Amino acid sequence: MTKIVEKFAELPKFLRRPLWQWWHRKMNEYDSDNTAKFMNYGYESLNGGARPELKDEDEVDRYCIQLYDHVVNKADLKGKIVLEVGSGRGGGASYISRYYIPESYIGMDISKSSIKFCNNHYNADNLKFIHGIAESIPYEDNSFDFVVNVESARAYSDMQAFFNEVYRLLRPGGKLLLADMIYPHELENFNKRIDKAGFKRISEKDISSNVVAALDKDSERREHLINTKIPKFLRKSFKTFAGTVGTSRYNNFASGTFQYWSYMLEK
């Protein structure tokens, strides 16, 4: 199972969707009280850089929140219409809808169990969650001001179709705010897909060091959650998925085998 987690995005395309849905069902089963609101690797500012001010109840998730904040903090989301593709357990959607005050924030995910889970756990007038597939998003052209995508695109069956869909959905001048892990040898093709869809790259940044710094500081919390919530036979796989210190996923980030990039892309 650990090897499957590590190489998920390299698995045959027909296996990725059912495996991802199974993983989410297990997450929702083992953590039914929504202690683990996030599934991303996190972000930490380096060299004394600014950190977002958080409410006391959000401090426990600081490093995961900071990744979302890094992705969106150069954009003006207030009063805007925003879609998140791959919203997972909904923590990022909840954070952005509360702190950045968009008019509407829609979290979309391939996992029906996660959509039910999120709609049961989050209650805000400007926030809702729907089921959908990244390569065929159920909205009209020019429907959104921003699309958010965090640690999701690399696992899609057809990444080019996803970029094309987002371009279709965005209004002129709208932006895709994206962060994902990428092997160095994949980076050129990743950027070619972005360009082929028609996007202008406003910013692109290697934030691998920031991700490793976050994992260093957040690893103990992640391990405690896994040891508390997850059956023993699955803990190693969950720790690899969570990138805790000493796992192959963490080591790949720390060594540069795996990189982590963030983008702001404009239609």
- CATH code of the domain containing 215: 3.40.50.150
Q: Which residues constitute the domain of residue 228? A: 2-266
What is the distance between the alpha carbons of residues 73 and 192, in angstroms, rounded to a whole number? 25
* C-beta atoms surrounding 267 within 10 Å: 20
- pTM to 2 decimals? 0.91
pLDDT value of residue 157:
86
What is the distance between the alpha carbons of residues 174 and 146, in angstroms, rounded to a whole number? 6
pLDDT value of residue 7:
52
> How much is the average pLDDT of 53-58?
97
What is the distance between the alpha carbons of residues 230 and 67, in angstroms, rounded to a whole number? 24
> How much is the average pLDDT of 122-132?
95
What's the total number of domains in the chain? 1
> How much is the average pLDDT of 244-250?
95
Whole-number mean pLDDT of the chain? 91
Which of 122, 162, 120, 170 is closest to 142 using CA atoms?
170
Tell me whether strands 259-266 and 170-182 are parallel, antiparallel or unpaired. antiparallel
Using pLDDT thresholds of 50, 70 and 90, give the confidence band for residue 5.
very low
